[in-house]
Structure formats: C-alpha cells, structure tokens
Amino acid sequence: MESESKYKMKESDLIKEFLFAFVGVIILIILLALIFQSPKKLPFSIQSYAKSNPAGFKKVEMRNVLGQSQIETYGYPYNKNGESQEIGFYSPEDIEGVTVPITPINTFFITPLKMEASVDKSLQAPLNNFLYLSKYKKGKLNKIEQSYYNYLLSGKNIYSTQYLSNKYYPIYTLVNSTLNMAKSGIFAQLLDINLPGNNSTYTYNYQNKLLFLQGAPIQNLANKYQMSGDQWGILKETGYYPGPWWLGIYTSFYQIPAIGNSPNADLIAFSSFGILIVLLALVPILPFINQIPYYIPIYKLIWKRYYEEKK
Amino acid sequence: MNLSKKIKQFVRKDLDLDVMLPEKLPVYVSSFVYMFGVLTMASLFVLIISGIVMVLEGPLWYQYSSLGLFFRSVHFWGAQVFFFFMIVHMISVFFMAGWREGRFLTWILGVMLFSISMFEAFVGYLLGGGFFAQWNQVQAKDAMNSIGVTGFINILNNSSLYGLHVVILPLVIIALLGLHLYIVRRKGVVPPIDIENKKNGK
C-alpha cells in the first residue's frame, strides 16, 4: 500500500469491479454448461462386465484363485508380495507397510461364495470341497484349477456343462456361481461389505470393486475411449470433454521413457513434480529464470499506457 | 501478553478498511492484465456456490436428475474457466516480475494455491461418478501408494475423497486466498518495471 502512494492515483471501486467480473464469469460458465453440458458416460460395473464378457469375468476370477492377479503381487499397502517403489534408499511405501490388507482369493472369491452358500445350500458341498482341498491337498487342486484356466484361455466352448462340471469340480461350479452372482448385481455388493464401516447403511468405500475391475476389464475400456497412458491419458474425459488438463505437467513425466518404463515410475514422477512445484515457488530467487521477464519485455505491453503517459 | 488486545490492534491497524478496500488505486492498475486475478476469484465463487447446491442434494442428484446435471455442468465448466484464468494470471504475474519489492510471499502463496487447486480439482473429477472417475482412481492409486499415504487417504474410498473435496481442501484454499489477498493489499499492486533500472529486478 505504501508503495502505491508514490504513483499518480485514480478513482477505483474494487467491489463494483468484482461484481462485474462475477456476473461476466457466471454468464460465461452458464453458457458453456448449457451448450456443452458435462460428461455422461456412466460408471462401469462388475455386473455389466459379467454380462458383456462372461469369459473375461471367469478369467479374472481364475487369476484371483491361482494367485496370478496384479494385486496378488502388488506389495504395499495391500500385502508383502511385491517390490516397493524406491529412489535409492527413499521408499515411503516401506515406511507405510501393509495398511489396507487384501488377499485376492479371499476378498474376491471365497468371501462372496461363503455368503452366497449361506443362502444357497447347493453351493456348500463344492465350497467345502474347495476349502478342504486348498488346505490339505493344494497340489491336486492346483492341477484342476490350472487346467480349467487353460481351458478358459483356449476360448473353446465345445463341452457340455455337465462334462465341465465333473471334469473341473469344484472350481467350475464355484466360478460359475460367482459369475451368476455378478450378473445379478449381488457380487459387487458383497465385495466391499467387509471393509471397515461398510457393513452398515452407508457404503462409500469402493476400493474392492475397483481393485476387482483393475487390469484387463477397465484397461480395455480405457483403450476404447482413448484414455490410457499411451493415448490421451488424464487429459481426456469420456466423449470429447477435457480432463484435468492442468495435470498434464505431472503426467508428462510418465512420457519420458526413462521414467515411464521404470519400476519406480510413480515415485519418480510424483517426486519430480513435487520438486517442480517447489522450483516454481522459488522462481523469484532462481538465477536466470527470474531475469526472463526483463529480457522478454511483455511488461511493456502490459503497462503500455503507463509508459506512454510517463514520456 | 494480552491476546484480546493484540487481536484488536491487528484488526484496527492491519485490517484497516482504507487499506483493504481503497477507493483510489495507482493509474498503472488500469491494465486489463490485473483482471485475471479477479476473474479467477469470481470463478472460484461460482465453484463454491454450485458446489454447495450439489452437496445439499447429494451425488445421485447431480448424476441422474436434469437439474442436478446442469449444476454438475456449471461446476465442471467453472473448473475449466477457473484454471484458465488462474494460469493466465500466473503467467502474466511472471512476466510482470510480480514478486518485486517484497512480494515474494505473495508469489509463494499463489503457487501453493495453484498446486492445492490442482489436487482439489482432480479429486473433483474422481467424484464425477462416471467412467473417468473409476479409471483414474485405479490409475492414481499407484501414485498414492508409491508415496505411502494410502493408510491415511485411500483414493479408492469415496468418503475420504468427498470430505477432502467439499470441506478440507476448500477451507485450505479459502484461507490461503484470504492471506494472498491480504498481502496483495498490504504491499499494494505491483508497480510497472522501472525501464531505466530494469536489470536490478529489485
């Protein structure tokens, strides 16, 4: 304020200026909202996936059963089975540890089946058989499971339900039961029910639903909408709507091959972005950078009238 | 120390309305560039008002009813306009070397507002309720997991995101904006660069 008093002053009404700006901005935004509206692509559900791609759903379940899902080997914060991201000795994941424990076979397969078996008695025998074999005869069960997964991967559909049910007992019955549950919509509801606080009226934690869909199911759809990392990435919403384009600076770090292809990509990109923000805050004291405004005289345009009047 | 006395002194001296809301400004402020800060703030007001309406009615309303969808569209385009004005404001302040004459803290607060707003708006996108939200929640969880914060803020848990988006981050933004504006008024609007001594940059 003191510094302003050195200059010639003129009448001003800040409140009126703000109100004019506010009305102008409201009109602009309402026009944009009326003309372009907003993205309408509804969420992807486990139910719609099970209905549109039952074979895909069964493969996802079999990867959960066989311990081949992405979450199985993810590591912290879900389990201890994966490599942590690190930069030298810096690894925040290691400090955090397992804070959101998930065992895919339990969360995505056994828990929903146990709940279903409590109302569908015909499921109890195959489920008990599966749990017994899992515990005492793991080798034998593994052979049946692997063989059924190979059959699913082959894409063949030549045998009768009765034949498959006998040949791949009990896994065939159980996987098809989860598929039927998913088609009805029950499966998704059962996934998150054991999360803390979710076994009540309010269920806002979608962690397990999203983790079930992660990998092939959601990736294929993102590819279709041109939204995966090697396409438009975060810059694009569904349809022709813009995504949060201001985060393009952050996601561009992933486009640098040395970062994007690194097993520590997320930690490096996030840390680099953090450093960039700190540097941005320090621009006023960064040599050379803080001189740019004086060498690219855009300020002469900004204060053109002032300089002319001064002459 | 008498806290009541200190606060009274602060309000009387430092929040003096003649300083905070002057009726006269230096002639150089007539440049249109100064409007971008005001336009950014006006967009923020639109976001706050449309956001309050959306919170009152809840997520199902703004995803599935026509009036709710309209407010969601206002909120969506409000965010686009907000960032457009904010980035133009930042670029113009950079080319005005707006940190001169003791305004470094104003710049730092601006960068803090920019970075927190980026996160706030991204969380808003994750609450949009469409495929984008799901896809980017799944994508962003890897970054959040890599920095070890999932036990504290789980990006797949929409109740955490909702609280962040409608309460915590807006309060931080409003507080920082208040401080930003306060310092802008205390220090005065950045004056034109002195052409004769421009390389000093002081």
Q: Label each residue of B133-181 as H, E or C.
A: HHHHHHHHHHHHHHCCCCCCCCCCEHHHHHHHHHHHHHHHHHHHHHHHH
pLDDT of residue B199: 52
**Given this model, what pLDDT does residue B108 score?**
98
Give pLDDT, residue A268. Answer: 96
**What DSSP string describes A27-57?**
HHHHHHHHHH-----PPP-HHHHHHH-HHHH
Strands, E assignment, chain A: 9-11
Distance, in Å, from the CA atom of A303 to the CA atom of B122, rounded to the nearest integer, reads 35
| Predicted confidence (pLDDT) at residue A80 exceeds the cutoff of 60 | yes
Q: Across-strand partners of A10?
A: B25
More confident residue, A1 or B87: B87
**What is the residue-averaged pLDDT of chain A?**
89
State both tokens at A17: 């200026």
For A299, the enclosing helix (H) or strand (E) is: helix A298-302
Q: Which of A5, A191, A266 to mutate to test binding with chain B, by most B CBs within 10 Å of its CB?
A: A266
At residue B16, the pLDDT reads: 81
ipTM: 0.92
Partners of residue A95 in chain B, C-beta under 8 Å: 148
Which among A116, A84, A112 is positioned nearest to A98, based on CA atoms? A84
d(CA B57, CA B59): 7
| Minimal C-alpha gap between B4 and chain A (Å) | 26
Pair A211, A201: CB distance under 8 Å? no
Residues (pLDDT < 50) of chain B are 200-202
Decide if A295 touches B, using CB distance below 8 A. Answer: no
For the stretch A176-228, pLDDT in tens is 999 999 999 999 988 877 666 555 556 678 899 999 999 889 999 999 989 98
Q: Chain A window 129-168: which residues touch B at a Cβ cutoff of 8 Å? A: none
The average pLDDT across A128-155 equals 83
Q: Does A90 touch chain B (CB under 8 A)?
A: no
Size of interface A-B (CB pairs under 8 A): 279
**pLDDT given at position A139:** 67
Taking an 8 Å cut-off on Cβ atoms, the answer to whether A306 and B192 are in contact is yes
Contacts of A229 in chain B (CB under 8 A): 139
Residues pairing with A9 in the sheet = B26
The reply to whether residue A99 touches residue B151, judged by beta carbons under 8 angstroms, is yes
C-beta of residue B176 within 8 angstroms of C-beta of residue B113: yes
pLDDT attached to residue B202: 44
Interface residue B189 vs chain A (CB under 8 A): yes
In whole angstroms, what is the distance from residue B25 CA to residue A126 CA?
82
Tens digits of residue pLDDT in A6-65: 788 888 888 999 999 999 999 999 999 999 999 887 888 999 999 999 999 999 999 999
Chain centre to alpha carbon of residue B77: 16
* Sign of the alpha-carbon dihedral angle for B105, B110, B114, B116: positive
Q: Where are the domains of chain A?
A: 46-217, 244-311
How far is residue B191's CA from residue B199's CA, in Å, rounded to a whole number? 15
Residues 100-129 of B with CB under 8 A from A: 101, 104, 107-108, 111-112, 114-115, 118, 121-122, 125, 128-129
Q: Alpha-carbon distance A136 to B91, whole Å?
A: 67
* Reported confidence tier of residue A137, pLDDT bands at 50, 70, 90: low
CA distance linking residue A113 with residue A115, whole number of Å: 5
Q: Is A190 on the interface with B (CB under 8 A)?
A: no
pTM: 0.90
Whether A281 and chain B come into contact, CB under 8 Å, resolves to: yes
Q: Verify whether the Cβ–Cβ distance B145 to A77 is below 8 Å.
A: yes
Nearest CB to A3 within list B95, B157, B188: B188
Distance from CA of B2 to the nearest CA of A (A): 28
CA–CA dist B142, B162 (Å, integer)? 20
Residues 6 or more apart whose Cβ sits within 8 Å of residue B99: A283, A284, A290, B106, B107
CA geometry: angle A187, A188, A194, nearest 5 deg: 95
A293 CB within 8 Å of a chain B CB: yes
